[in-house]
């Protein structure tokens, strides 16, 4: 964590802001909107429905989302487009960086989206600049840059609808191993330098690191290796950021009466993903879910960011969609789902690479047939009937498939 204790908070805030004025993050070209829509987590509309509204939200009705610290607009553009495709939903963007706001605005204009309003200012002043209430709030990679992240979370909580929820991203402490010692070394060695000179010297230092350096050894972190000054700056020249473990996130959220409904990707937060021995898997399964997530983080070691959804604890049990009745409808998260399903036929495993770790997950028998029947309209009951299986046999197989496909954040649920 950057030591800003001896700097007045306003000055430290100004330094954070000036970084994002000089290096809007992430770098984006509004012209690219004509060719593609960037989708991601949190705040994909299907994830919001699954993790916040139990799969029951009707987006053909009014819906109001806040993107707090929207940067160059990834979540704003994605959600505004997805809402516009379904109904009258609107997005409210807030950021302290004017340069970032202009890029986000140009991207929204390039798509002819008319459901976004832009506000320049701090999320700590939401009551003045963009008052709630909001059905949903996105705050991705922002709270960990505040002098007091809890105060930021409190400001968001104040404008959130009672039955709403949030999608957040906070840096992961273990996955960022090596980042903070390097930030510290660079800070000391570039004291008094600014702009391009500082960046160039920092880059030369990073190029010359010995093989024993933890950042160099960390396969999960690679932004400093890109030819991208904004990414390098965000990772190693940041004036203020901190990182969290799963238990720290849980404590921060429960302090404000929030329950975490899911981490993305779920499979990475499941100890069974990393364990071979049945006795160990069994012992892990006996623990509360949050403890399992914490153990998975400790074992994996490569969770460099934590993307997760929260809801007020009062409706924590109903917020997460569950495959617990024949009326629920499985759907692909992204448009390439059906093509992916066709490739599953005949496969017994799915292979994925996450931040330096290759995972190979076993699929149940008949996975391809079930996957090909998923079209976002057929319910679990319809799929069961199409396969001529009784509910218990079907459900046992579906649950195993769901663990993998939902675990990889490829499949979600909605209410029928």
Q: Please say which residue, 100 or 218, places its beta carbon nearer to ligand SAM.
A: 100
Part in contact with ligand SAM (CB under 6 A); list of ranges 63-71, 111-119, 273-281, 319-327: 63-71
CA angle, 321 as apex, 37 and 155 as ends, to 5°? 70
User: Can you list the alpha helix ranges (DSSP code H) found in 195-303?
Assistant: 195-207, 214-217, 229-236, 246-255, 278-285, 289-300
Part in contact with ligand SAM (CB under 6 A); list of ranges 19-27, 262-270, 336-344, 384-392: 19-27
Binding mask 78-107 for ligand SAM (x = CB under 6 A): ----------------xxxx--x-------
Q: Please say which residue, 27 or 181, places its beta carbon nearer to ligand SAM.
A: 27
Structure tokens that stand for 64 in this block: 């109001």
One residue of 2, 45, 80, 142 binding ligand SAM per CB under 6 A: 142
Residue 108 CB, nearest distance to ligand SAM (Å)?
14
One residue of 23, 64, 107, 145 binding ligand SAM per CB under 6 A: 145
How much helix, strand and coil, in percent to the nearest 5, is found in the chain? Answer: 45, 20, 35
171 interacts with ligand SAM by CB under 6 A: no
One residue of 20, 51, 63, 180 binding ligand SAM per CB under 6 A: 20
Please report which helix (H) or strand (E) contains residue 1, including its range: none
25 interacts with ligand SAM by CB under 6 A: yes
One residue of 39, 115, 122, 406 binding ligand SAM per CB under 6 A: 122
The number of angstroms, rounded, from the C-alpha of 305 to the middle of its chain's C-alpha atoms is 8
One residue of 123, 199, 319, 408 binding ligand SAM per CB under 6 A: 123
52 interacts with ligand SAM by CB under 6 A: no
First to last CA, the chain: 46
Residue 285 CB, nearest distance to ligand SAM (Å)?
33
Residue 26 CB, nearest distance to ligand SAM (Å)?
5
Taking the C-alpha atoms of residue 85 and residue 140, their distance in angstroms, rounded to an integer, is 23
Taking the C-alpha atoms of residue 171 and residue 377, their distance in angstroms, rounded to an integer, is 36
Taking the C-alpha atoms of residue 117 and residue 93, their distance in angstroms, rounded to an integer, is 6
Q: Under rule CB under 6 A, which residues in 226-255 are in contact with ligand SAM?
A: 234
**Quick one: which of 115, 127, 138 has its CA closest to 52?**
138
Q: Under rule CB under 6 A, which residues in 307-366 are in contact with ligand SAM?
A: none
Task: Report yes or no: 260 and 309 within 8 Å, Cβ to Cβ.
Answer: yes
CA distances from 167 to 68, 142, 343 (A): 11, 12, 31
- List contacts with ligand SAM (CB under 6 A): 16, 20, 25-26, 69-71, 74, 94-97, 100, 122-124, 140-142, 145-146, 234
């Amino acid at each position: 964590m950057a030591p800003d204790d001896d700097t007045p908070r306003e000055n430290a805030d100004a330094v954070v802001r000036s970084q994002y004025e000089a290096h809007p993050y992430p770098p984006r070209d509004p012209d690219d909107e004509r060719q593609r829509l960037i989708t991601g987590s949190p705040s994909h509309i299907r994830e919001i429905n699954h993790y916040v509204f139990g799969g029951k939200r009707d987006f053909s009705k009014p819906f109001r989302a806040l993107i707090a610290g929207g940067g160059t607009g990834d979540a704003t553009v994605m959600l505004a487009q997805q809402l516009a495709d379904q109904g009258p939903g609107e997005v409210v963007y807030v950021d302290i960086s004017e340069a970032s706001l202009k890029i986000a605005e140009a991207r929204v204009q390039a798509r002819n989206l008319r459901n976004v309003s832009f506000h320049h200012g701090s999320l700590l002043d939401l009551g003045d600049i963009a008052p709630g209430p909001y059905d949903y709030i996105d705050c991705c990679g922002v709270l960990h840059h505040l002098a007091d992240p809890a105060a930021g979370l409190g400001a968001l909580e104040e404008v959130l609808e009672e039955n709403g929820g949030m999608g957040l991203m906070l840096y992961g402490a273990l996955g960022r191993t090596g980042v903070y010692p390097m930030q510290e070394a660079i800070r000391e060695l570039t004291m008094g330098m600014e702009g391009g000179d500082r960046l160039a010297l920092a880059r030369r230092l990073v190029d010359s690191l010995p093989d024993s350096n933890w950042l160099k050894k960390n396969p999960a972190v690679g932004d400093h290796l890109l030819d991208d000054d904004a990414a390098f700056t965000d990772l190693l020249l940041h004036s203020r950021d901190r990182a969290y473990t799963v238990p720290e996130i849980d404590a921060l959220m429960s302090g404000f009466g929030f329950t975490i409904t899911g981490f993305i990707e779920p499979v990475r937060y499941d100890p069974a993903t990393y364990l071979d021995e049945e006795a160990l898997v069994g012992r892990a399964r006996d623990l509360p879910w949050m403890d399992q997530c914490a153990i998975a983080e400790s074992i994996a070691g490569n969770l460099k960011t934590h993307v997760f959804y929260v809801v007020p604890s009062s409706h924590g049990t109903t917020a997460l969609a569950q495959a617990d009745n024949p009326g629920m409808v499985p759907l692909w998260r992204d448009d390439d789902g059906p093509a992916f399903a066709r490739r599953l036929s005949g496969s017994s495993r799915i292979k994925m690479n996450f931040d330096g770790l290759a995972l190979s997950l076993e699929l149940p028998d008949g996975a391809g047939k079930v996957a090909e029947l998923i079209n976002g309209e057929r319910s679990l009951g319809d799929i069961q009937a199409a396969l001529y299986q009784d509910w218990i046999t079907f459900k046992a197989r579906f649950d195993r498939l769901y663990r993998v496909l939902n675990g990889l954040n490829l499949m979600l649920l909605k209410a029928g």
